[in-house]
Structure formats: structure tokens, C-alpha cells
Amino acid sequence: MRDEFELKLLLAPMQAERLMRSAAVRALSHGARPSAPAELTTHYFDTPDHVLKARDIAVRVREDGERRVQTVKLPGKRGNGLQHYKEIEAEIAGITPELDAIKGKKARVLRKGGVADSLAPVFTTKFTRKVLPLHFDGAEIELAADEGEIASNGHRAPISEMEIELKSGEPAQLFEVALKLHEAVPFRLGLATKAARGYALAENAAPKAQRRRPVALDADVTIGEAFAAMAHGFVEHVRINEEAVLVARDPEAVHQIRVAIRRFRAALWVFRDVMDADSHVRTKDELRWMQRAFGPARDLDVLARQSVVPLIAHFPDDRGLLELRRATEQAREAAYGEAIAALENPRWTRFLLQIEIWSVNGSWADDHRKALRDPAIELASKALAKRCKQLRKRGGKTCERTPEELHRVRVAAKKLRYLCEYFGPMFDEDAAKAYSAQLAGVQEILGVLNDAAVARKLLDNVSAPERAKGIVLGWQEGRIVCELEKLGDAWKAFRKAEPFWT
């Protein structure tokens, strides 16, 4: 068994050739030339109901010349931003899996419930691979360029990607090499393995939005470990939703990326006194840029879903509303174009790589290295207390606040809730959940009020009949009245909630 750490780089074939010939690759390879292209055909197997896929396990047999190599990939530990798998390899006679060749405890999962007896081909990959060894600061890294296709049930999808795999060294060095390659020829970071893409092809499944995985922090975590977990969690949350925006234009994926950005901005504030000043400023600037790129698309999604579409359901023949829907869709398409342009901008990938480097090697706080070993619980307590005090101050006499003041209350509530989600597991988790639930009640009401205010601004920039806009504004006013009636009770309930960090 061996560990596999790799990063997938997405490039068009001509870009891959450019990268292979680039000065950056020549320097990292010490002038070596890529290997001759190898023709690789790989067959992937699973049960009819895809039990192995559900367990994130891959069983494949690769044809490599006259050899037949069976590989079982098992999921490794998460948390360092790399694709990490445990690999068990064995040379076998044919292209049908021989699970008896797998020894030890790891093989048990493949024999439970008759899995071994029900394996059948699901899809096949055929591609040419060129390999080049790279050397960086004592680390050994393999650069591979793959070109070909995936086939399943008569359907095909192209393969055009490069992988860099860590053979020896530290994970941060893999990210640093990726950053050097990105500066030479920009690429996007891939996330889906060939196996994941093969299953998607077999199931005719489009990429879907995904919620974040919880960031696991406990009471003993250090400041350095806490930042690393939050930073990596941010990058992962963004990356697992990118394809759903690019391929499917999924509104929920847009929302999830926007949440990831805002959540990390809230976390960044906590570490501002430990983080190097230049790094802090640059990170804030990049997060603002990302948020500006995704904000309009999300706002227009909300306007359409919560106002325009419901009103057309009530008045299906109203020409003004139908025209407003067309105008909103046009504005939404333009906004999605801006979001996609940001995802494809080299700046996006460069920033994510830099955050991953920081999360692994702690270079975000070079001037405060000693502080990284301190327990994070005191920092967390102070941050939670400060955000709570800010919210209580802004939210006093909530029902008498102007829309602008209510917006500031909502922002304060959102920032506090993000910190509760991050740091809650470090304290009494049940108490943290109870507190967050009361906070969520306030935040959700304020969110509806804010959506109504944003809708008013959006309508000013949409070319549609004024009568239709007036109908939407009247609809929103009704919602505002209803939500304001509930706000007072929600605020009182939150005020009574016991802070879990004291």
C-alpha cells in the first residue's frame, strides 16, 4: 500500500504542450525531456448499485502494454487540500478484478455483502500519458500530461489534464510547484478524479452544488491549526462548487461559493493581529474581488425566485411581469458571465493556491510564529464576545431601525453566526447549537428584509415596465411588514440566549 498525494491541473491540449515546453518546467526538471507517450486503457468496476462509489472506493484494472495492473483506491485523510488516496496494487492475469490478490483488513470492505461477486465494468478510460520528473527544494514531484477520453454506455467525454504527484517531500511543496507552473501557463484546479467523471458520465449526472464539510476544531487546537483548518475549508468549499457554476450554472452553487467567501472573511478578522500585515491586506482585497464577482448573480437569483416567479404564478398572463422576467433573466445571464469570468481568471486559481500554501506551512504569520503554537480557545472567546457585543449594540430597539441600520444588524448577526459555526465545537457543542439556533432566527428574518431592499436597487437597473416593478415592490412591502412583526420576538429570544463561550 502507498499514499498518493496529487493536484489536478485543467488545461487545453495546446496549453499543456506550452507548459511542458516552458522555462519553468525546464528549470524544475533540470532540462530533462518528457517520457515517450504511453497508451493506457483502464477499466473501472463497481456493483450495479455503485456501492464502491458510495464509499469513495475505486477498483480498476489498467492495461499497460502486456501487463495488467489492478489498483484499489481507498480514501485517505482530508485536510491538506490535496487529493489523497491509499493505493493497493497487484499485477493480475486479465482485465477482470482478482480481489483475492488484496490482503489484510483493507480488503474486507470489498468482500462484504457479496461485493466481490457482483462487480461489473462501469466505464473505461483511454489516454496517452507523458511523464516528467520535477525537483523542487529537495522534493520529488512527477508531472503527468493525459490526453484521451472516458467512455460509458456509448457516451464519451474528453480527458485533457495534467497531474502533479508528490513522490517525496512536503505537501506545501506541491502547492508551491503548482504556483510556479500557474505563473508560466495559467490553468484551473481540477477536483473530479477520472473515476468521478466516469461515474458522472455513466449516470448522466451534471455537477451539483455542495454544502461545506464541517471544520473540525476541538478545545486543544492551536491558533496555527485553527487557521489552517479554516483556510483549507474555505478553498474546499469553493472548489467543490466551481464545476456546478461553470457547467450547470447552478444557483445554489453560486450561493455556496458566496457563503464560502463571506465565511472566510469572518474568520480572517479573528486572526488579523496574528497575520502578517501585507498578507492580511492582500487576502482581504482578493476576497472582496471574489465577492463582487458573485454578488450580483446571487442577488438576481433571489429576486427571480422570491419575487418575479411567485408573482407570475399568481398572474400568469400579465405582460408586464413576463417582460420583467425576461429583463431579469438577461441581467442574470450577464451576472453569471461575470462570475464565470472570475472563476476562469488566473487570479482566482493563484489566490486559492496561495491560501493552500499558507494552510500547510504557516507562512501567513511569519512575523508571529510563536503565537501559532498558542491555544486558539482564548482567541476564539475574545472574538465571539466582541462580535456579540457589536450585534447587541447595533440591534437595540431593532424594530425602530431604518432599513440601512437593519442591514448593519444583519451583517453583524451573520459574522457572529459564522464564528459560532467555526468555534462552537471547541466549547460545549450542544450549548453552541442552541445559541446559534436563536441567532439564526434573527438572521433569517433580517435576511428577508435585506432581500427586499436589494430587490428595490436591482429593479432600478432593469429595463421593464414601471407597473410591473411596482407590483414587485408592493409584494416586497407586504413581506417586510410580515417579517417586522416577527422580528421583535426573535430578537428577545436571542437576547435571552446564554453565550456558550463564557
Kindly state whether residue 214 falls inside one of the protein's structural domains: no
Model pLDDT, residue 476:
87
Cα–Cα distance between 255 and 299 in angstroms, integer?
A: 9
Considering the domain architecture, whether residues 69 and 191 belong to the same structural domain is answered as: yes
Residue-level pLDDT, tens digit, the chain, 502 residues:
666 789 999 998 899 999 999 999 999 999 999 999 999 999 999 999 998 898 888 899 999 888 999 998 887 766 555 667 788 888 999 989 888 777 666 566 676 667 778 899 999 999 999 999 999 999 999 999 999 999 998 999 999 999 999 999 988 899 999 999 999 999 999 988 899 999 999 999 999 999 988 888 999 999 999 999 999 999 999 999 999 999 999 999 999 999 999 999 999 999 999 999 999 999 999 999 999 999 999 999 999 998 999 999 999 999 999 999 999 999 999 999 999 999 999 999 999 999 999 988 888 988 788 889 999 999 999 999 999 999 999 887 766 678 888 889 999 999 999 999 999 999 998 999 999 999 999 999 999 888 888 888 899 888 999 999 999 999 888 888 888 889 989 999 999 999 999 8
2 vs 290: CA distance, rounded Å? 38
Q: Decide which of 149, 178, 205 is a domain's last residue.
A: 205
Residue 212 lies in a domain: no
Q: Among 353, 369, 385, identify where a domain stops.
A: 369
* Domain count along the chain: 3
d(CA 218, CA 214): 12
Length of the chain: 502
Residue 98 phi/psi, 5° resolution? -120, 90
- What cell does 127 get? 489516454
pTM of the model: 0.91
What sign does the CA torsion over 9, 15, 18, 24 have?
negative
Distance, in Å, from the CA atom of 345 to the CA atom of 12, rounded to the nearest integer, reads: 15
Q: Does residue 258 lie within any of the structural domains?
A: yes
**Three-class DSSP labels, 424-475:** HHHCCHHHHHHHHHHHHHHHHHHHHHHHHHHHHHHHHCCCCCHHHHHHHHHH
- Would 465 be classed as within a structural domain? yes
Q: What are phi and psi of 154, to 5 degrees?
A: 80, -5
Residue owning grid cell 425602530: 400
Whole-angstrom distance, CA of residue 264 vs CA of residue 406: 23
pLDDT score of 102:
74
The verdict on residue 16 lying in a domain is: yes
- The DSSP call for residue 33 is -
Provide the 3-class DSSP secondary structure of residue 63. Answer: strand
Question: 171 near 163, Cβ under 8 Å?
Answer: no
In DSSP terms, which residues pair with 485 in a beta bridge?
none
Give the separation between CA 119 and CA 105, rounded to whole angstroms.
20
409 part of a folded domain: yes
The closest alpha carbon to 322, from 333, 338, 308, 334, belongs to 308
- Answer yes or no: do 441 and 363 share one domain: no
> What SS3 state is found at 371?
helix
Predicted pLDDT at 1? 62
Query: How many C-beta atoms surround the C-beta of residue 292 within 10 A?
Result: 12
Let me know whether 384 and 321 are in one domain. Answer: no
Backbone angles phi, psi at 187, to 5 degrees: -145, 170
How far apart, in whole angstroms, are the C-alpha atoms of residue 225 and residue 380? 13
Give the pLDDT score at 82.
67
Give the pLDDT of residue 502. 84
CA separation, residue 246 to residues 16, 240, 253, 342 (Å)? 21, 12, 10, 11
- Containing 140, the helix (H) or strand (E) segment is strand 139-152
**Cα within 13 Å of Cα(411), Cβ side:** 10
What letter would DSSP give residue 64? E
Query: 230: closest CA among 275, 257, 260, 192?
Result: 260
Give bridge partners of residue 131 from the DSSP assignment. 144
- Which CATH number do you get for residue 421? 1.40.20.10
d(CA 123, CA 402): 59
Asked if 398 and 406 count as a contact pair (C-beta separation under 8 A), the reply is yes
Q: Is there a single domain that holds both residue 122 and residue 172?
A: yes
User: Same structural domain for residues 363 and 426?
Assistant: no
Q: How far apart are CA 353 and CA 360, in angstroms?
A: 11
In-domain check, residue 126: yes
For Cα atoms 388, 501, 378, give the angle at the middle one, nearest 5 degrees. Answer: 100
Q: Supply the range of the domain harboring residue 502.
A: 376-502
What distance lies between CA 307 and its chain's CA centroid?
29
**310 with 383, same domain?**
no
Task: State the DSSP H helix or E strand holding residue 189, giving kind and residue range, or none if neither.
Answer: strand 188-190
DSSP string across 471-492: HHHHHHHHHHHHHHHHHHHHHH
Q: Are residues 352 and 394 in the same domain?
A: no
- Decide which of 340, 369, 398 is a domain's last residue: 369
- Considering the domain architecture, whether residues 299 and 194 belong to the same structural domain is answered as no
Which residues 6+ apart lie within 8 Å of 243 measured at CB? 191, 192, 207
3-state secondary structure of 51: helix
Q: Is the dihedral of CA 350, 351, 352, 355 positive or negative?
A: positive
CATH number of the domain where residue 9 is located:
2.40.320.10
Cβ–Cβ < 8 Å for 299, 336: no
Same domain, 178 and 246: no
pLDDT of 171 reads: 86
Using alpha carbons, select from 348, 15, 3 the residue that is nearest to residue 189. 348
Residue 180 within any structural domain of the chain: yes
**84 beta partners:** 5
Rounded CA-CA distance 353/57 in Å is 27
Task: Write out the three cell numbers for 157.
Answer: 467525454
CA distance linking residue 124 with residue 194, whole number of Å: 10
- Looking at the structure, tell me whether residues 363 and 389 fall in a common domain: no
Domain check: are 481 and 355 in the same one? no
Is 105 in the same domain as 200?
yes
